[in-house]
Amino acid sequence: MGVSIVATDVDAENVATAYASPVRRALEGIHFLNESLEKCQRNYAPGKSSLKGTIFGAPVVNSSYLRCTGLQHFLQTGIAESRNGTMFVIARNLVDDGAVANRTLLAGTYRGIGGAVLPGYSGVGLYAGGAVSRVNGHSTHAANDAADGVLAVATTQVIPLTTWAMMMLSFSDGKLINRNLTVPYTASATPTAIRRVSPDKIRIGSAYTSYTGVCDVAVFQYHSEVLEEEEILLVASDLREYAEGRGITV
């Protein structure tokens, strides 16, 4: 594991500045969300340290994960939403029900300032709790910038949402794929219009509007291209090994 260099019984993860992910193509960000808020802010993607995150409110950090509350306590990364993308998130919800107050956005840009600039919905993201044991992946599409956006949605199962799962969302003009890489389970949607790209930065543990529930997030990784299957499996295996080292099984 590239981030954790052990020498003389001292783990160098907390002082490392980059992480040797097995897939570097279009890699924009890696966040290991544990131990300190300063560490949570650090972007471990090689060459992307300037795209560090910003803490909002007072999310609670411990040795394995960051506990976030939507719209109040969360991390905003320095990574802008891209037209094409693949994001990986290892997370869980505090509760598993369909109540609006308990829904969470594990990661994304849902209804950010792009919604004010461009009519209709905006953003991409993985949100949990719209129904019991469901994680919804979404991206916004529109025929042109003046038209109302259409939200494409693909829904997967995590039973229950209070268990740790590795989620993956990939999006492009013509395809949205939402995968639970722990079970595994895959859902997809085929939009009929091109992607509407929001100018917003990806948030971890919060949307820009709605979703005020509580979630725990352990790892986040983002690529500004749709990864191939072989690349997805390499990243998943790598992040799974990392999480296991923190006591999280996915």
Tell me which residue range forms the domain holding 201: 18-245
- Asked if residue 13 belongs to a domain, the reply is no
Q: What integer pLDDT is reported at residue 116 of this predicted model?
A: 58
In this prediction the pTM is: 0.93
Residue 66 lies in a domain: yes
106 found inside a domain: yes
What digits encode the pLDDT tens for the residues 182-194?
999 999 999 999 9
Give me the CATH number covering residue 103: 2.60.120.200
Of 27, 65, 58, 57, which is closest to residue 43 (Cα–Cα)?
27
Is residue 117 predicted with pLDDT exceeding 60? no
Q: Give a yes or no: residue 225 inside a domain.
A: yes
Give the tens place of pLDDT for each residue, 118-131.
555 679 999 999 89
Angstrom distance (rounded) from CA 187 to CA 39: 33
pLDDT tier, 4 (very low <50, low <70, confident <90, very high otherwise): very low
Number of separate domains in the chain:
1
Percent of the chain with pLDDT over 70: 90
Q: Is residue 205 part of a domain?
A: yes
Give a yes or no: residue 8 inside a domain.
Answer: no
From the CB of residue 204, how many other CB atoms can be counted at a distance below 10 Å?
Answer: 29
Residue 4 lies in a domain: no
Q: Are 74 and 68 contacting, i.e. CB atoms less than 8 angstroms apart?
A: yes
For residue 89, the number of C-alpha atoms closer than 13 Å in the C-beta half-sphere is: 30
Domain-located, residue 219: yes
- What pLDDT, in 10s, does the model give residues 62-102? 999 999 999 999 999 999 999 999 999 999 999 999 899 99
DSSP SS3 for 73: strand
**Pairing assessment for the beta strands 85-93 and 165-171 based on DSSP bridges:** antiparallel
User: Among residues 130, 225, 232, which one has the least CA distance to residue 180?
Assistant: 232
